[in-house]
Amino acid sequence: MDTPDLVALESEAMAALDAAQDEASLQTWRVAFLGRKGRLTAVLRSLKELSDAERREVGAASNQLKGRLESGFEARLRALQRSQAALLASERIDVTLPARPLPGGTLHPITLARRQVERVFRDMGFDVVEGPDVEWDHYNFDRLRIPADHPARDMWDTIWVDAVDEERDRRALLRTHTSPMQIRYMDEHQPPIRVIVPGTCYRYEATDATHEWMLTQVEGLVIDEGISFAHLKGTLESFVRRLFGEELETRFRCDYFPFVEPGAELAVRWHDRWLELLGCGMVHPEIIEAQGWDPERYTGFAFGMGVERLAMLQWGINDIRYFYQNDLRFLSQFRGS
Ligand code: YSA
């Protein structure tokens, strides 16, 4: 039998030992070289097949190699354990430390302004409801006395949606104002009615410092016996005073909306000019009659105000476009609930 190549075995074993990166592969190494069926054990077992002289020489060399492999194993094991302990120490977590504060979100200024409006009207006894952003032209226009091809439709630059109800001859659009909810609400309720409807509206409109293509309105509708223009004026003036105090200059002027008679606008003094806050008026008698109610008995008023405009006044913001640019430096300045 050839004498075993202990030099090659040693260099192979030492290379494998260096390559072992954890305790599990170290144990595999130990089994492969020093275990009962390991490579060195096989050499020791084969000694009996050698001549006496060879057995003495190879036996002594094998035992020395066994000693070197065992101490190599111990050294590698200690080194691995040391580096693991160092890793654990470096990753130590002090669970008693206070948590790092997470930056909390804030409500959008228009949400804050809208909630403020809702609180004031709730205090005055109004209900608050919402309606759909995608609306039928039937509610947005026709039932508000604005039939197809009527020039009044040009008052609202409409964003049409690709949906048609052929059977009932209705087209869908992004509502241009919250007024369609007047009709939907009257379809479902009987007088006395006292409700506001906050919501988003959309117009195909060029933007400037006071106009956005997406805006928030709060619609108001009151219907009861004996409601007059004095109620309309009183309600809106006390609303404006609640928000802005006695100092703010206001102006009522005639305006035209097909669904009111008479119609008006309310503007406030802002940066040396008048800023229109809302449109309003007495609900048109034909609209009351179309609900099956006697317009001699029931009268009402309605209004639609721009919430962005209110917020601009309240916080002294001179450009409406800040609200929807999503700049956190602007948005995070507003706090409230
Ligand atoms: C009128 C009479 C009623 O009985 C009821 C409601 C109305 C209001 C009507 N539906 C309407 O939308 N009128 S409006 O076009 O003049 O808009 C009402 C308010 O929304 C404006 O006074 C303004 O404050 C705001 N607004 C309108 N367009 C805007 C806007 N705000 C920002 N950007 C725009 N593009």
Q: 51 burial class (0-12, 13-18, 19+ CB within 10 angstroms)?
A: exposed
d(CA 142, CA 132): 17
**Measuring CA to CA, how many Å separate 247 from each of 105, 113, 315?**
33, 20, 15
From the CA of 233, how far away is ligand 1's center (Å)?
17
Dihedral sign, Cα of residue 276, residue 277, residue 281, residue 287 = positive
Walking along the chain (337 residues) 10 residues at a time, the average pLDDT comes out as 82 91 91 91 88 88 91 91 88 90 91 97 98 98 94 88 95 97 98 98 95 97 98 96 90 96 94 93 98 98 98 94 96 92
Q: Which two tokens stand for residue 71?
A: 């101490």
Q: Classify the phi-psi angles of 219: left when phi > 0, otherwise alpha if psi is within -120 to 50, otherwise beta.
A: beta
What letters, b where the CB count within 10 A reaches 16 and e where it falls short, cover 256-282? ebbbbeebbbbbbebeeebebbbbbbb
The protein residue with its alpha carbon nearest to ligand 1, atom 21, reads: 278
Q: Is 138 a catalytic residue?
A: no
Pairing state between β 193-202 and 214-225: antiparallel
The protein residue with its alpha carbon nearest to ligand 1, atom 20, reads: 306
Q: Decide: 215 in ligand 1 pocket, CB within 6 A.
A: yes
pLDDT of residue 1: 58
Question: In the chain, what are the domain boundaries?
Answer: 3-90, 109-334
| CATH among 1.10.1240.10, 2.60.120.10, 3.90.650.10, 3.30.930.10 for 109-334 | 3.30.930.10
Q: Is 213 a catalytic residue?
A: no
Catalytic residue among 43, 114, 117, 156: 156
Catalytic residue among 117, 260, 267, 307: 260
CB 3 within 8 A of CB 54: yes
Q: 43 burial class (0-12, 13-18, 19+ CB within 10 angstroms)?
A: buried
Q: Is 217 a catalytic residue?
A: yes
Q: Decide: 20 in ligand 1 pocket, CB within 6 A.
A: no
Q: Count CB atoms within 10 A of the CB of residue 55.
A: 16
Q: Decide: 276 in ligand 1 pocket, CB within 6 A.
A: yes
pLDDT of residue 327: 95
From the CA of 15, how far away is ligand 1's center (Å)?
82
Helices marked H in the chain: 6-19, 23-34, 39-45, 52-90, 109-123, 137-140, 180-188, 229-244, 285-290, 307-315, 328-331
Catalytic residue among 175, 177, 284, 309: 177
